[in-house]
Amino acid sequence: MSTELIQKAIQSIEEQGYAVLERLIPESRAAYFAERLLAAPHRENPVNGYHIVRTLLNQDAEFAELMTHPVPLQIIHHLIGGRTEGTKNAFAWPKEDRVRLSIVDGLIVEPKSESGWWHVDPPMAQAVREDQPLPDFPLVVNAFWMLTPFRQETGATRLMPGSHRWRKIPPESRDDLEGQQYLTAPAGSVAIIPNTMWHTSSTNQSQQHRLAVAHVFAPWWVGQISRAAVPVKRKIWEQLPPVAQALTRHQLHWNVD
């Protein structure tokens, strides 16, 4: 993957609030992961027809391949990795621990699913009072892998370009908003979505499942971003490749009692 393409993605995030890198893995590989996601036994169902497989690594460690792909990681380090060189009045955190993986969840949207509520990802809306503006920089970034084709009829994610500059949470609504866009891309693509961005799911009007994996990355100074975030099990962590271990080592110390 060329430096030029990565720079274009960063520019798109600065201008639009998100970026899409198409066919970052072969469609055949995306199909393989789609089958494994559908085989995962434990799901939550927060919205009718919309299922979440929490901490997918605990059910299938092969998904570490997606979370360690170097291209999204390079972009994410640029966005939230922080200072790379220390000075006399500002230290730099160790490179191998500047970015951490907070969540890796499988997302399964069934045919005829309900649409979701417009939102920004945690902990953005929870970080300030209702009468305060949101931070003008992301607290976390989602690398959103699309395992099946994302089209309007399959329930593609809706996004509001430019909302990353508005510094407020979206209206409490599921309705279409003027100016929204659909996140459309072939299987094997990845979207980089900072949590300053308004987004939501849409109704799956097709006869196929819409499948994705959300990888939420955070800088080292952000803790457990959601009560729903479940840590990777130590026996699973010990089997992961070194890059994946570095990204998830902090989860071994989460207190989820």
Q: Model's pTM, two decimal places?
A: 0.95
Summarised one tens digit per residue, pLDDT across range 6-47 is: 999 999 999 999 999 999 999 999 999 999 999 998 788 877
Which CATH code for domain 3-82+91-252? 2.60.120.620
Confidence at residue 1, expressed as pLDDT on a 0 to 100 scale? 53
Domain boundaries, the chain: 3-82+91-252
Summarised one tens digit per residue, pLDDT across range 195-216 is: 999 999 999 999 999 999 999 9
3-state secondary structure the chain: CCHHHHHHHHHHHHHHCCEEECCCCCHHHHHHHHHHHHHCCCCEEEECCEEEECCHHHCCHHHHHHHCCHHHHHHHHHHHCCCCCCECCECCCCHHHCEEEEEEEEEEECCCCCCCCCECCCCCCCCCCCCCCCCCCCCCEEEEEECCCECHHHCCCEECCCHHHCCCCCCCCCCCCCCCEECCECCCEEEEEECCCCEECCCCCCCCCEEEEEEEEEECCCCCCCCCCCCCCHHHHCCCCHHHHHHHHHHHHCCCC
Q: With a cut of 70, which residues of the chain have pLDDT below it? A: 1, 256-257
